Amino acid sequence: MLNIKDYTYYLPEDKIALYPLKNRDQSRLLIYKEKQITESFFANIHEHLPTDSLLIFNNTKVVRARLIFYKETGAKIEIFCLEPFDGLYNIEKSLNQKKSVKWQCLIGNSSKWKTGKLMAEIKINGKIVIITAQREKEGEYSVVEFSWSPEDFSFGDILSSSGKVPLPPYIKREDEEEDAVRYQTIYADVNGSVAAPTSGLHFTSDLLNKIKEKNIEILPLTLHIGAGTFKPISGSNIAEHKMHPEFFSVAKELICSLINKGNRQIISTGTTTMRTLESLYYVGLAILSGNVKGNYFFIEQWIPYNIDKTKIPIKQSLEAIYDYMLKNKLDTLNGETQIIILPGYEFKVVDILITNFHQPGSTLLLLVAAFIGEDWAKVYNYALKNNFRFLSYGDSSLLFRKK
């Protein structure tokens, strides 16, 4: 049984980066390859990536998901919008919706708002808009109905105009103007995340061009990151930890590139990209087994550990997805993944991982340990001793999978 205590370490507060560096690519880069650790800067990452490989990134865009209201008493209430009440697959639809929406939310200063409506006045393009919030239902999260007048703006307009950037809980400061740009990758394209895919924050346009010059194909996928990414593992038994499902979307073009990769190595920009890529294998298995209902897939968190060790190769699984997409006239494969990657996991897709340094005892750290084995501790000790900056706004690492 995996013991969480074996995957923790002491992270001093002063190692946590509270602000990004002036230039995205000036972050330091720790390189772990064939059990050796070397250093560089992210601006030089192209020099360390194999020629003729395939680099995949998450093009999700962070929405300004934190709305602030004040009661007549002066009490400040923060509503953190997590996902639409009617399902993750409706994120885009809900952000484009006018008049009113219902979202699952976390409520800050919750005890001060038990009943009644909250109101706030904002401006969009110089026009005054009145927003109302009504708390409807309790559970793990609260259901809040938002409505606004005039009704000719979308909920996405409301969030972009009045919402605050949802910085992680360990960045203990208010969001600032700079965060709207820097807590977003330069290739962010699809609204829906409440946390950034932080491994991608280091890329610049110039750097992406240098990568392409090495004949490295660059392709996107989408995984909308939920607040569950920061959820600590409670207790010592990982079996009791519930992963929060996250919406993913993968284009047919990417499936085709993976099928035809030949000897090319697959580079994942971040843990969210990796979890999506690794989930594809299990989507293909579901299709091959005939266990498919509709065109929306769900990958349960323990499936890699519960199914019989299959001999079906990854290429066959991906070909099943591609054929299914052709047959059903799908340009994108959509679904949700809850997959958890732990030490002992058998990687099917990813060879190289670009990722920041993660919190002690987190599922993200467990993923790193699964990828490079027990040397994760050596990597993290090196980073701590050599004053690397940790977490979302911190430095980066380039990890080559333990073979």
Based on the fold, state whether residues 306 and 322 are members of the same structural domain. Answer: yes
Q: Out of 136, 164, 192, pick the residue that ends a domain.
A: 164
Tokens of 271: 């843990």
CATH number, domain at 153? 2.40.10.240
Where residue 13 falls (left for φ over 0; alpha for ψ -120 to 50; beta otherwise) is alpha
Whole-prediction pTM: 0.95
Based on the fold, state whether residues 136 and 214 are members of the same structural domain. Answer: no
Based on the fold, state whether residues 25 and 130 are members of the same structural domain. Answer: no
Number of structural domains in the chain: 2
* DSSP symbols for 331-389: SEEEEEE-----TT---SS-SEEEEEPPPTT-HHHHHHHHHHGGGHHHHHHHHHHTT--
* Tens-digit pLDDT string for the chain (403 aa): 688 889 999 999 999 999 999 999 999 999 999 999 999 999 999 999 999 999 999 999 999 999 999 988 888 999 999 999 988 778 888 999 999 999 999 998 888 888 788 999 999 988 999 999 998 877 778 899 999 999 889 999 999 999 999 999 999 999 999 999 999 999 999 999 999 999 999 999 999 999 999 999 999 999 999 987 777 787 778 888 889 999 999 999 999 999 999 999 999 999 999 999 999 999 999 999 998 888 999 999 999 998 876 689 999 999 999 999 999 999 999 999 999 999 999 999 999 999 999 999 999 999 999 999 999 999 999 999 999 999 999 999 999 998 7
Based on the fold, state whether residues 210 and 298 are members of the same structural domain. Answer: yes
Based on the fold, state whether residues 97 and 156 are members of the same structural domain. Answer: yes
* DSSP symbols for 229-285: GGPPPPSSBGGG--PPPEEEEEEHHHHHHHHT-TTPPEEEESHHHHHHHHHHHHHHH
Based on the fold, state whether residues 294 and 147 are members of the same structural domain. Answer: no
Examine residue 102 and state whether it is found in any structural domain, yes or no: yes
CATH number, domain at 23? 3.40.1780.10
**CA–CA gap between residue 237 and residue 3 (Å, rounded):** 7
H or E element that contains 3: none
Domain span at residue 215?
4-61+182-400
Based on the fold, state whether residues 44 and 93 are members of the same structural domain. Answer: no
Based on the fold, state whether residues 246 and 198 are members of the same structural domain. Answer: yes
